[in-house]
Structure 1
């Protein structure tokens, strides 16, 4: 709230003339100035980070529920059911929706009549909010930020720094948007400098399939067109902070050319048949947002950034009255969807007695329930294994006839054996796949989304298999983990090698021993069924 001014005492003579005008102008500014205290800003950001870690925005839940109702693909419907069930569990248990609790983006629109009472820089204040939010002992979040992106790549341990954007605007409040952006979706960001005559629709339809499913659809696409390269990227990111309203837009109809373009892109992207988790289905995107800005006559910059199934952002306003008050969604916003293992349709697998022959018998699209002990490992662990093998050094664990899960879990709290532990994008491990299958005795892998041609060829050559767990269901997956311990590379933190003891962990055979990938066959089948975009011969 505006700070109250102390008016001059009647005993004191007021200035006259030019000095009098200066006095009253200064007093007017002083009266209208809003003072934002340092701890109010810090605590508001910390609270926002905790809030978005376990609450989906209500608009996302409502649109995903509609997608679930209309979905005809059994595999996609099952994936959406897991995401919805996970979302409600997180809201009730106040634990992260996804194990990747993101890199924090803070957008501040600072009113010109605002004054900050800070003993540090604005960046440092926002970083302290991030630090408090991520280290909260009741819901400690995974630290994923590395201080040096090129060389040492050492974890900062508190997920700082955040990415801060500040805009000066008229007014006496601070408008704040806080978002946590996961690496899986951020890595699928795309940018192009189109020719002025090039079609935006054609570029989007060509580009979306190249993104694969590592961004965890169904989600949202943010598009920025115009300005310069960096402006287009910023607009695309900012558009993801907007409410999902495609259902309402379709109901009332478009009112301008931009809304017409949004609808056209929404319908045509979904007609690609990519579907939930890339398994093939009716819904790939829940909404598409487009922001524009004037640009050079020779240019048509375009950026596209996806938001994943762990859509996390919140908006609030600081007016000087204290810490922001965040209102959680009502549990009635969630549909009556409660995923549970289907013991009739799924095959139970004992990992402790698993053989190469059994792995080779699995069929594409088959659902499995895994039981027993598996190992984990992701980017940093695979790189270290590669270096150790090259030097002839012994590995800290024997991978013979074992299954590896690509995951970096959240630390446990209270009675948990492990925190949320959903899969990470498998394609980042593609270049290590042949090494692992050839030199370590590994017989199968679990991750998120599709595998690339190099990995598929190696899987085929070694008669191995790749299993897919649903991204966006990390807390649900963690409930299948009955034991967890670090068995190698403890210094890597969340990227260490764990041994998980699981019971009925749900996965789908995504690439079988013959090299057939459901991320190829599924979308192709559903693109043909939808029948809007011809399937290439």
Structure 2
């Protein structure tokens, strides 16, 4: 009988969560680097390059690769020959490791969990509880697959109970086409087929954390029908033309994983789970000899990217002095380097502004002529002005956009597409919408020179702040005429992807 101490489990989970906050897996890096080399869409190539460049900065500085440091999901498998020495349950030990990881003074991670989920939605402040799934089987070890799932990709999970004769491949491709870019592609799509509704969803989530091996699969060819399905889905999804960040391009997914389980004769439960560009997960095994730690990857795994935002090849914009005429000259897909003062604000801040205006009261900040960035940054450490500060999904702000434009906002920065009505509102106000690259949070934070609290301090990371930025890289997503690259980009690149080996 193997004894595993509770303290070892806590320390192993803590260390693993810190590790995955700043290290991409080598398999993802190699496939993303290959996608960068073959990408022909200039906007998508620039986005992939920023993700890779930011990933290197995260690894070398040991700071979170994404400001959304995720909801902790754990798949634990306890060998029947193991005994856990603790007065706490395995789930409680995992929560303690999560708490310590997210409150680490040297690399604090953003707490995003709220309780209760319906009414108060009050932040738990330490990112607990984790979502833990425990299985018991043969063996004398404790295996823990730990992941940190961002809200943008988690929100794009989909499920359907298909007619048994319905094509799984067709449903998956048609569904992915409706997801938009809020899940931060290029990433991985996990597919779960069979079992029950909850079984299919769990299989899809666990599948997308498997080793990325699509390049090997394409090189050797499929060995069974599941591998044939993976290749079909990989090629058909990439042929949608969605591309990196939804800008239109050749690579939307670097791999597709499929897991199956027996199901009822009348059912065909199918779930898809997108895995974003952060792709944070790791597996640790405890055998009673002490905590389990992961070896740091070799930094040579990170490619050197030419043409970064510091190369001076993009248009520079001073947001403090820009004119409507200057903004009207911006073209969708163009990369800008912003300097000057921008405001921050996301869901909770927008809702509070709406409530203040509904009461007929004055706002605590003048929005006229300002640019607002949808961001909830990680807390700074050392001499940082702000921690990693990548964008959040903009569609959640759509219902507030016309109100903000009426108050004088001239441009917004976020990630992913805007709804058709919001695009119309932007055009009517002759405003613009810009995107920062989801997955490039460290790179963005390097452009932030100072941060000052403006309003709603009680909202924590959702408070309104004023950032002073210098050469912050963004891409024009909706121009002043109402042209959206999230519409024109995929239209341009649809059907142009080819198999990697072709």
Give TM-score, length-normalised by structure 1. 0.91
Residues in 2 aligned to 1:109 and 1:411: alpha-carbon distance in whole angstroms: 34
Residues in 1 aligned to 2:496 and 2:310: alpha-carbon distance in whole angstroms: 26
CA shift digits 1:92-143 (9 cap, x unpaired): 1000000000000011100011111112222221111000000111100101
CA shift digits 1:168-189 (9 cap, x unpaired): 1101110110000000111111
Give the gaps of 5 or more residues in structure 1: 1-32, 533-537
Residues in 2 aligned to 1:239 and 1:262: alpha-carbon distance in whole angstroms: 12
Residues in 2 aligned to 1:365 and 1:143: alpha-carbon distance in whole angstroms: 33
Which residue of 305, 310, 317 maps to 1:349? 317
Structural mapping, 1:392-403, within 5 Å: 392-403=360-371
CA 520–383 in structure 1, closer or farther in 2 if over 3 Å, else same: same
Contact persistence 1:373–1:502 (CA under 8 A): yes
Contact persistence 1:421–1:474 (CA under 8 A): yes
Following TM superposition, by how much is the alpha carbon of 1:392 offset from its aligned partner in structure 2, in angstroms? Answer: 1.2
CA 531–247 in structure 1, closer or farther in 2 if over 3 Å, else same: closer
Residues in 2 aligned to 1:35 and 1:380: alpha-carbon distance in whole angstroms: 46
Structure with higher Rg: it is 1
1:477 paired to 2:444: yes
SS of structure 1 residue aligned to 2:123:
coil
1:453 paired to 2:420: yes
1:252 paired to 2:225: no
Following TM superposition, by how much is the alpha carbon of 1:360 offset from its aligned partner in structure 2, in angstroms? Answer: 2.7
SS of structure 2 residue aligned to 1:191:
strand
CA shift digits 1:319-377 (9 cap, x unpaired): 01001021121111111225522665422111112333332332222221101000000
1:193 paired to 2:161: yes
Give the gaps of 5 or more residues in structure 2: none
Structural mapping, 1:347-386, within 5 Å: 347-386=315-354
SS of structure 1 residue aligned to 2:451:
strand
Contact persistence 2:16–2:293 (CA under 8 A): no
- Point out the more displaced range, 449-458 or 399-408: 449-458
Which residue of 10, 29, 33 maps to 1:61? 29
Residues in 2 aligned to 1:487 and 1:342: alpha-carbon distance in whole angstroms: 29
Residues in 2 aligned to 1:323 and 1:191: alpha-carbon distance in whole angstroms: 37
SS of structure 2 residue aligned to 1:353:
coil
Following TM superposition, by how much is the alpha carbon of 1:69 offset from its aligned partner in structure 2, in angstroms? Answer: 1.2
1:202 paired to 2:170: yes
Which residue of 94, 114, 117 maps to 2:62? 94
Contact persistence 1:488–1:498 (CA under 8 A): yes
SS of structure 2 residue aligned to 1:259:
helix
1:410 paired to 2:378: yes
Query: Aligned-pair RMSD on alpha carbons?
Result: 1.2
CA shift digits 1:185-219 (9 cap, x unpaired): 11111111110010111111211111101111100
Give TM-score, length-normalised by structure 2. 0.98
Contact persistence 2:235–2:497 (CA under 8 A): no
Match of 1:468 in 2: 435
Residues in 2 aligned to 1:214 and 1:34: alpha-carbon distance in whole angstroms: 44
